[in-house]
Amino acid sequence: MMIGAIGTFGLVGCTDTDVDESDLDGVEFKKDDDPKFPIPGESFSAEKLPFVEPIEAAEVFVQKLPKATEAGENVAVHIKLPTPQNKELSESLVRVVGDPKNPMMLVRSDALVDLGVLKESPGKEFFAAFATLSEEELAVRAKAEAKFEKFGETTKDRIVFEGRNPIAVTTGIKFDISVFDTGVPVALGSCPLMPLSTPARWEEALIVTDLSVVRDKNRTNDVCDPGADNPNGVWTFKHLMEEMAIGSGLSTNDFVVQWLSTWLTNQVVNSDTIPARTQMFQQVIRPWANASGITSSLVGGNLVLGGPLNLDKAPFRLSAIVNRIDLGKTSSGGGYFGGGMPLSAGEMRFVFGVQNLNSCTQLPFSVIFEYGVPREDCAAIKDWANQWIRLSDPLLPRFSSSWRAHLESITENVVLNGAAPAKGNQNAINQIRTNENALNFQWELREFTLSTEDVFTDIDTPANGPLRPHTVALTPNDSIYNPFADIDIDDWTLFTPMPPAGAPGAVLSEVSPFAFFTSGASGNTVVGDCSPSFEMPHLASGMPLRGGNAFTAPVTHWQIDAATPGDPREVCARQQFSVNTCNGCHFADTSTPFFHVNPQVAPAALSNFMTGTGAGNVWAVPDQQWGGGVAWMEFADLDRRHNRLYEIACNSCGRRVVFPHIIDVITEFNGLVPVDVVSEDSPIKVGPVKDLGVVKQLIAATAKLEKAVVQDVELSNFTGTSQMFVH
């Protein structure tokens, strides 16, 4: 028996759009209609994860070259690449990865030893490219190692993650310059010691929820609590909207009112009709109008206000300020080469809870401002990481006035108009997301951007003007595609992100800390990450796939009807597809009661998916289609973000050279190009490079190529592969 989404599939309009405001009086929604978890999760100690030696966990090695290349490169960077999906490439001596516009050629490390270029290789699974690493940068690494040793309680232990899933524990590695100088490969990982990952550390530099910050009387506004009431504060809804409205051609009031009005009539996004939720008027707009001393009415979906809303009375209470440096996007967002170089330091977010000002009740309604951090090279991204880390520095008293002043300097660098000149209204906002069931018993997520969206080409064009409804990230249209069984989703999921037969985890009995399937805390099978770059297609059978909104009832998760529980690759593909949707992430696949940051309580409560239920714990969720007897997923997301923050701050920046025409060069010498995944209409003929002589020719040819692109890179993420996380 399959365990599926709860409720009847297929949604119709949930509310009338031709209503008078009197029709809305006294309307209440029954909260007992909320969906229940198909299978609940459970917690266990991370100490139960298998231990792996740090040298085995290392995925990047750096090796000093005997002499610099003609381009001045002085090191080889060895990267452990995943097993290719195309089995023909399993013995290839060359692999091509990276942004399709700037593809990288990597040579298998042991092939470079055979050619006499290097004297040692870290292993057959490693592929190498040349780069430049300065002595000054090595000194920065040593300084970071010494600095973090003084950050209070530290640890050498850390969790190893495969994608989002914790699969093992290991220890940090000291970068030994004396060994590096001998010319042998040296592991390049996180610092040997870093601050212990605890809720206190998370609250300082990852997700700030402490009331002394989010109720700072000089920077925040809470209309229902005059003690925290500065309507012009830098962390208020008013300030963020004022900066966003500049350049829109609208007053801030009109900018906000147009956005609020999108709930009052049906909206069509990507052919998906989003039913109106006119309770927005009753629960949010009219109480705000009352507090502003103006009249308000709603007739036929048309909002009529007797004057401007008083933004000093905005019913949005700050719940959290969030650092999502782990969301650093790539230049192509993935692509058929498996990833591109990170172009930014991820996102910075403000989470607000929405209030009904008539009763000063905190609604089950969150509004999240998600800004893209405009940092575009390795040094700038490291600087951004260190600015957040300074919030954990013992020399800066925790949550003190100087601490909050430093956080203000961080946020204002992103929030102020002009921070992103190439984006809509020159504002750095990526999107605003809303999560709520205050307006209807069905939990709903929406998304808004300062861009126009072409759903057929999957291109967003920055646009000045108002906030516009946008498709929700990585989530199918749940009014068209059946979450129980849909042939388009089944076909894509089982043929694109699924690892190839023979890859790690291809048999359930195989237990390896780096397999896609590993032994869980109680001996259960645990699913890791299926693919080095998971990205949902924007089309299915030639039609746009994503929805204009997402419900977590009736859609609590997505099933793959054609998948079989006996094939771990198919189980893994289903889980990775579903957990990356809004529906699965905010409900069954993470066993989360909708909010990851709950704004109804103060301080805001965090989900088990984020915390693992506490420091040193892991949140385990049984497979929602077949149950825990088949597989589990495990999460400790704030541990993952903590590790990534300190990895970025500790890792070394170098320079790499990429050649936009390398595909043509490989085709000339080999005929076939070792690209793992290409689209069906790609002109590239895919195949391995097996001849060592061809490898030698390719190395010589690249040394003479013109129009090379020099890029600053973080050496630990040299190829730029990145996970497609949005939640």
508-552 pLDDT, tens digit each: 222 222 233 344 443 445 554 444 345 677 777 778 889 999 999
Average pLDDT, integer, range 348-364 = 97
Predicted confidence band of residue 707 (pLDDT cuts 50, 70, 90): low
Residue 95 in domain: yes
Q: Is the pLDDT of residue 88 over 80?
A: yes
Average pLDDT, integer, range 25-46 = 67
pLDDT of residue 99: 67
How many beta carbons lie within 10 A of that of residue 671, not counting itself? 11
Residue 74 in domain: yes
Choice among 395-404, 495-504, 568-577, 595-604 with the minimum mean pLDDT: 495-504
Distance in angstroms (rounded) separating the CA atoms of residues 168 and 46:
8
List Cα–Cα distances, 233 to 178, 180, 216, in angstroms. 51, 50, 9
pLDDT of residue 103: 84
Predicted confidence band of residue 554 (pLDDT cuts 50, 70, 90): confident
Provide CB contacts within 8 A for 105, sequence distance 6+.
Answer: 94, 95, 96, 129, 659, 662, 666, 698, 702
Average pLDDT, integer, range 153-179 = 90
Residue-wise pLDDT for 378-390, tens only, equals 889 999 999 999 9
Residue 78 in domain: yes
Residue 8 buriedness (CB in 10 A; 0-12 / 13-18 / 19+)? exposed
Residue 662 in domain: yes
Residues forming beta bridges with residue 296, ordered by sequence position = 305
Q: Is the pLDDT of residue 505 over 70?
A: no
Residue-wise pLDDT for 606-641, tens only, equals 999 999 999 999 999 999 999 999 999 999 999 999
Residue (of 100, 153, 575) closest to 334 by Cα position: 100
Please report which helix (H) or strand (E) contains residue 178, including its range.
Answer: helix 177-180
pLDDT of residue 721: 46
Q: Is the pLDDT of residue 23 over 70?
A: no
More confident: 505 or 424: 424
Residue-wise pLDDT for 321-347, tens only, equals 999 998 876 443 332 232 333 457 899
| Torsion sign (Cα): 474, 476, 477, 479 | negative
pLDDT of residue 723: 46
More confident: 149 or 437: 437
Choice among 98-112, 279-293, 391-405 with the minimum mean pLDDT: 98-112
pLDDT of residue 497: 58
Average pLDDT, integer, range 409-430 = 98
Core vs surface per residue 570-606: b (16+ CB within 10 A) or e? bbbbbbbbbbbbbbbbbbbbbbbbbbbbbbbebbbbb
Distance in angstroms (rounded) separating the CA atoms of residues 78 and 655:
14
pLDDT of residue 541: 76
Residue 460 in domain: no
> How many domains would you assign to the chain?
1
| pLDDT > 70 fraction of the chain, expressed in percent and rounded | 84
Helix 237-245 with 401-415: angle, nearest 10 deg? 30
pLDDT of residue 718: 65
Task: Give residue 111's domain range.
Answer: 54-195+652-717
pLDDT of residue 685: 92
Provide CB contacts within 8 A for 523, sequence distance 6+.
Answer: none
Q: Is the pLDDT of residue 482 over 60?
A: yes
Average pLDDT, integer, range 168-194 = 90
Average pLDDT, integer, range 107-120 = 96
Q: Is the pLDDT of residue 708 over 50?
A: yes
- pTM value > 0.75: yes
Mean pLDDT (the chain) is 85
Residue 159 in domain: yes
The most confident of the ranges 61-75, 307-321, 676-690, 694-708 is 307-321
Give 241's Cβ-side CA count (13 Å radius).
26
Q: Is the pLDDT of residue 722 over 70?
A: no
Does residue 524 contact residue 627 with C-beta atoms inside 8 Å?
no
Q: Is the pLDDT of residue 591 over 60?
A: yes
List Cα–Cα distances, 672 to 83, 107, 703, in angstroms. 19, 15, 21
pLDDT of residue 632: 92
Predicted confidence band of residue 702 (pLDDT cuts 50, 70, 90): confident
**Count of all residues that appear for the chain in the document:** 727
Residue 324 in domain: no
Residue 656 in domain: yes
